[in-house]
Amino acid sequence: MFWQALAAGRDLGRLHEIASILIRYGFGDMVRRMGLANALERAGHALLWKHADELAHLEPPARVRRALEELGPTFVKLGQVLATRVDLFAPEWIAEFGKLQDSAPPSPYDEIHRQLTEELGAPPEKIFVTFDPEPLAAASIAQVHRASLADGSLVVVKVRRPGIRPVIEADLRWLMRLAELAEAENPELRNFHPQEVVQQFSMSLQRELDFATECRNSEGIANNFADYIDQDAPASPGTPPAIIVIPRVYWQWSSERVCVQEFIAGIPGRNLTAVDQAGLDRKVLARRGANAVLKMIVEDGFFHADPHPGNVFYLPGNRIAFIDFGMVGRLTGERRDQLIRLLLGLVHHEPTRIADVMLDWTGDGVVDEAGLIREIQIFVDQYHGIPLKQLSIGTMLSELVAILRSHRIALPADLALLIKAFITLEGMGRELDPDFNMTAAAIPILRRSLRARYKPAALIKRGWRSAAEMLALVADLPHDLSRLLRAARRGRLEIHIDVTNLKHVGNQLDGAANRLVIGIIVAALIIGSSIVMTVPGGPTLLGLPIFGLLGYLSAAAGGIWLLLSIWRSSKADRE
């Protein structure tokens, strides 16, 4: 079945490359279990098993990370997404995935020049006053060049690598088939929803390939910060400069494969020495950065999902610039309510509130509720009496997620991204200011958002929305009932039940039935041939009836096939 799914010729070359890398990093057994070896051998691709396990001395997390790096951009991106799934992987795996750097050698300039000319409608040297052919940075999906406009403005031109989309699309097809196989064959993996994880990753990567989407994300976040001020800063005369800077998008030259944005001339987030030399206030930067990200998460529900130091710049006046909005997170109003209740429950030591939210996240999965609540109670008790300034939201969230992991509860994809952003944000704040207190920064925003949700105007708005939905449901009810009764009268009323395990059992029954039929045919050939051997007359070979010999040979071939089929099935069951 897996061979049939992977038989498309367009994926076989890439599949051979993937299988070879997995074998080299000691995952040959996984290649066999997935059926990749048989699939490639039937397609005429030989695998070099002599290189198996040559790097198996590395620890498993390091081996996986090295393999992902060698597998290419899709898998590097997958590792970066997995680094956000603190609910699925232990800390040592998360730390290893966090080492994946999205960097690559630059593409040849003639290819980049050709693609820019196609997208811009003219060569870049005719569009821009200056254009540097040497890239500022080169990643697996895109590379960035510096340019300038006629008015003297500096811009960055981000261009997608030529030919990268077909490679990524082939990898995504392979990953989805692998997830389907893992979920069908391994009941324990179903709790972690591998197909859902791959689907979320696929959607995220497809959006990241479309630079127009990144530009829209950037503008959306810029609009949310249009009137944002530092409420803790003293009032100053005139219009104060924006304390959160989002690069301006130049839409006249931006498209799916090219993004032109304002160049940010600031201090990179990793260069704290330069921050001190520039006379910037680290405490103010830590507080402003935390408040900005908390606003995006709690108030806007639309946030930068990867706020690591490489995507942050510090500007004069203790201002902060965010770049690279290829990966963003979105939270519904309901999800924000759950998040606020959870964080306030953590801060105020309320285990019941925490447990209620976590049980909401489990969905329809089977969970030991009593055991989960008991562990949450123990978790909350260990923080009881600790002063607020000593609490670390990042640490508490990490421990809480470890409880989820022990109960095999997978977080919804949007929340996994969110918790990773929280942990990254607190780490950045502590690097800037060792006394940074994420809890103290979060509580006022959480309380303000909670109050806003229950203001009379907000309650009335939600009430009207619920009433409108109820009226629409009631209005559609007669039509829905009419369709249901019409289908019943015509005998076309159907109930669909999808049970994954039954499909596997059905395949096993089909195989057993096929072997039984072959066995009956073999027995019939033996008996028939024996009868033919006793009948005189007819053509002979070496003194024996030819038809009898043909019958025996056919029976022997069928018997050998039957034995091989049984042996392969037994071997697969043992593995």
- Listed in sequence order, the residues at least 6 apart from 405 whose beta carbon sits closer than 8 Å to its beta carbon are 87, 88, 90
For residues 289 and 320, the answer to whether their CB atoms sit within 8 Å is: yes
Tokens describing residue 240: 């104060």
Q: Could you say which DSSP state residue 249 is in?
A: B
Annotation marks residue 306 as catalytic: yes
Q: How far is CA 346 from the centre of its chain?
A: 27
For residues 15 and 5, the answer to whether their CB atoms sit within 8 Å is: no
Q: 3-state SS string over 156-189?
A: EEEEECCCHHHHHHHHHHHHHHHHHHHHHHCHHH
For residues 445 and 298, the answer to whether their CB atoms sit within 8 Å is: yes
User: Please, which contacts does 275-280 make with residues 24 or more away whose CB atoms are closer than 8 Å?
Assistant: 275/314, 275/432, 278/314, 278/316, 280/314, 280/316, 280/318
The three-state secondary structure class of 450 is helix
Task: Give the CA angle between residues 364, 369, 375 to the nearest 5°.
Answer: 130
For residues 34 and 66, the answer to whether their CB atoms sit within 8 Å is: no
| Catalytic hit among 11, 306, 360, 573 | 306
For residues 15 and 36, the answer to whether their CB atoms sit within 8 Å is: yes
CA distance 230 to 266: 20
10-40 in b/e form (b: 16+ CB < 10 A) is: ebbebbbebbbbbbbbbbbeebbbbbbbebb
Half-sphere exposure of 28 (CA within 13 A, CB side): 13
| Rg for the chain, CA atoms, rounded | 31
The three-state secondary structure class of 260 is strand
- Listed in sequence order, the residues at least 6 apart from 358 whose beta carbon sits closer than 8 Å to its beta carbon are 342, 372, 376, 400, 404, 409
**What is the residue type of 12?**
L
Q: Which residues are catalytic?
A: 306
